[in-house]
Amino acid sequence: MKKAIILAIGGLLAFQAMGQNWKPLFNGKDLKGWHQLNGKAPYKVENGAIVGYSKLGTPNSFLCTKEKYGDFILEFDFKVTDGLNSGVQFRSESLKSYNNGRVHGYQFEIDPSQRAWSGGIYDEARRGWLYPLTKNPSAKTAFKNNEWNHARIEAVGNHMRTWINGIPCANIWDDKTPEGFIALQVHQIGNKADEGKTIQWKDIRICTEDPQKYMTATDAPEVNCIDNSISPQEKQDGWTLLWDGKTSNGWRGAKLSDFPQKGWTIENGILKVQPSDGAESANGGDIVTTRKYQDFILSVDFKITKGANSGVKYFVNPDMNKGEGSAIGCEFQILDDNVHPDAKLGVKGNRKLGSLYDLIPAPDKKPFDINGFNTAVIIVKGNHVEHWLNGTKLLEYERNNDMWNALVAYSKYRNWPNFGNTDGHILLQDHGDEVWFKNVKIKEL
C-alpha cells in the first residue's frame, strides 16, 4: 500500500499521492512568478494569501503567471467578499493582436451572488458563457459564502472540468486554446460602495506531470463547445451528427430528390436559410433528412435575425403536401415573438417561440437570446414528446390518443390524416427569413 507523503514547501503543503507531483505557484511570501495585466486593482500578500482589492475606475485586473500551462490539474483555496465577482483564468492569453492585449480565455467563475454560478466556465473577452450552472444546477450549492472554498480545475487535452469543495461543477469539451497562463482576476466595479472589497487565494498548486493519470470522475453533464463535432463522451452516449457542418449529406429538399440548388448556403460551419421576403417554402424550400426517425433526442442550435420565422419539424411526411407551402409535421416553432405578427395569431400563444405550432403554447417567459445561438431540444419516447429551449422544458404532450386527436381536429392540421401519430423525417424550415443552424445532433433511443 502506497503512503501519502506530505512535504512542506515554501510554507505550503504539497500533497504527493501515488506518484502525483504538485508544484506550488505561490510561495506564500511574495508575488514572485506573477505579473499584472490590464487593470490597476492592487494585489498584496497578507497572512500567506494573495489578496486582490477592488478599485473604482479601472477595468478587470489580472495577476498572471509568467509561465504558460497546457495540460494540468490546478488546485487552490479562495475566499471572496459578498458583492464582488471574480474568477481564475486558465489557458489564457494577452496578445497585442487581440483587443490591444486584453486578457482572454477560459475562466473559473467565482460568483457569490444569488445566481450562484461559482465553478462555471466563462470565456473571458471572447465567447462568453460556455458552462453556466444552469447546465448543472445541483452544483450551485457547492460554494460557501464568506468561507474558504477549495477549487480544482482539470485541463487535459480538450477536457476541462471544475470542482468546488469536492462537488463537480463544470465539464466542457473544447479546443479553442490548448495552452496559456493562469491569472487571478479582480473584476471591475461600478459602485463606490464596492471599493476595497477583497478576493483571496492561497495554497495554489499545479500538477503538470502526467495529469491524465489523476483525472477525477465527474457526473457534471458535458457541454461540447466544438461546433459540429461529437465528443468521445457524446459518442459513448450514442449521439451522432445529423448535419456534418460541411456538406448536404443526409439532407434533401422536402419536395426534391436532391438538396436545393438555391435558398440555402453552408458557410464556416453554419447552415443558413437565405431571406426571401418571408414567403413560406418559396425559395429553396424546406429541407428534410433522407431517413425517418422514431424515438430520439434531437438537439439543434439556431440563431434568428430580427423578425424571423422558421421551425424544426418532426414526424414529417414529405409526400403529404405536394402543393405550395411547407411540408407537414409537428413543429418546434422558431420565431421572433416581439416582431413577427404570427406571435399574436393562433390560440393562447401557440404560435410563439418553442410552441408546438398551432397546437400547444410554450410559456411566454423562457430563456432566449435574440442576438446569439439558442439550443432547441426535442425528445420523443414512444408517444411522449417534450420541447426544451436552452435547458428549460417548455412543454410536453402525449400523442396517439383521443385527447391528441381532438387537439389536432381543432388546428390547421385537421385535414391531414393521422397527423403526428407516426414516425417521420426531421425538417428545417424555409420561411423566407434568414436563420442560422449548427450543431444538429441526434441520439436515437
DSSP state of 274: P
Q: What is the pLDDT of residue 19?
A: 67
pLDDT > 80? residue 285: yes
Q: What DSSP designation does 237 have?
A: H
pLDDT digits (tens, 9 = 90+) for 387-424: 999 999 999 999 999 999 999 999 999 999 999 999 99
- Cβ neighbors of 64 (< 8 A, separation 6 or more) are 34, 35, 36, 37, 89, 92, 94, 103, 181, 182, 183
pLDDT category, 11, cuts 50, 70, 90?
Answer: very low
- Is there a single domain that holds both residue 245 and residue 137? no
CB 312 within 8 A of CB 426: yes
Here the cell at position 311 is 421551425
Same domain flag for 200 and 112: yes
Q: Is the pLDDT of residue 379 over 70?
A: yes
Query: What CATH number is associated with residue 176?
Result: 2.60.120.560
Structural contact between residues 64 and 183, judged by C-beta atoms closer than 8 angstroms: yes
Could you tell me the residue range of the domain that residue 380 belongs to? 232-444
Provide the β-strand partners of residue 298.
Answer: 378, 442
Q: Please say if the pLDDT value at position 1 is more than 70.
A: no
202 & 332 share domain: no
DSSP state letter for 179: -
pLDDT(4) > 60: no
Q: Which three cell numbers mark 110?
A: 467565482
Residue 227: inside a domain, yes or no?
A: no
Cα distances from 283 to residues 243, 274, 353, 392, in angstroms, run 21, 8, 23, 33
Report the distance separating Cα 146 and Cα 84, nearest Å.
11
The span from the CA of 249 to the CA of 179, in Å, is: 35
| Within a domain: 64 | yes
**Cell 457524446, residue located:** 234
Q: Is residue 16 part of a domain?
A: yes
Q: What confidence category does residue 233 fall into, taking pLDDT thresholds of 50, 70 and 90?
A: very high
- For the chain, give the mean pLDDT: 94
Q: Would you place residue 307 in the very low, low, confident or very high pLDDT band (cuts 50, 70, 90)?
A: very high
198 and 109 inside one domain: yes
Residue 9: pLDDT band (50, 70, 90) is very low
The 8-class DSSP code of residue 371 comes to: T
Residues 240 and 125 in one domain: no
Of all residues in the chain, the percent with pLDDT exceeding 90 is 91
Residue 225 identity: C
Domain-embedded: residue 10: yes
Neighbours of 393 (CB within 10 A): 15
The model's confidence at residue 18, banded by pLDDT at 50, 70 and 90, is low
- Answer whether residue 318 is part of any domain: yes
Note the pLDDT of residue 10.
34
195 plus 298 within the same structural domain: no
pLDDT value at residue 17 = 44
Statement to judge: residues 284 and 389 lie in one domain: yes
B/e letters for 353-376, b = 16+ CB within 10 Å, e = fewer, are: bbbbbbbbbbeeebeeeeeebbeb
- Sort strands 167-173 and 223-224 into parallel, antiparallel or unpaired: parallel
- Residue 325: predicted pLDDT: 78
Is there a single domain that holds both residue 317 and residue 365? yes
- The predicted model gives 252-259 an average pLDDT of 95
Does a structural domain hold residue 150? Answer: yes
For residue 20, what pLDDT is reported?
85
Query: So what's the pLDDT on residue 324?
Result: 77
Instruction: Give yes or no: residues 24 and 132 share one domain.
Output: yes
Domain count of the chain? 2
pLDDT in tens, 160-197: 999 999 999 999 999 999 999 999 999 999 999 999 99
Cell of 141: 450549492
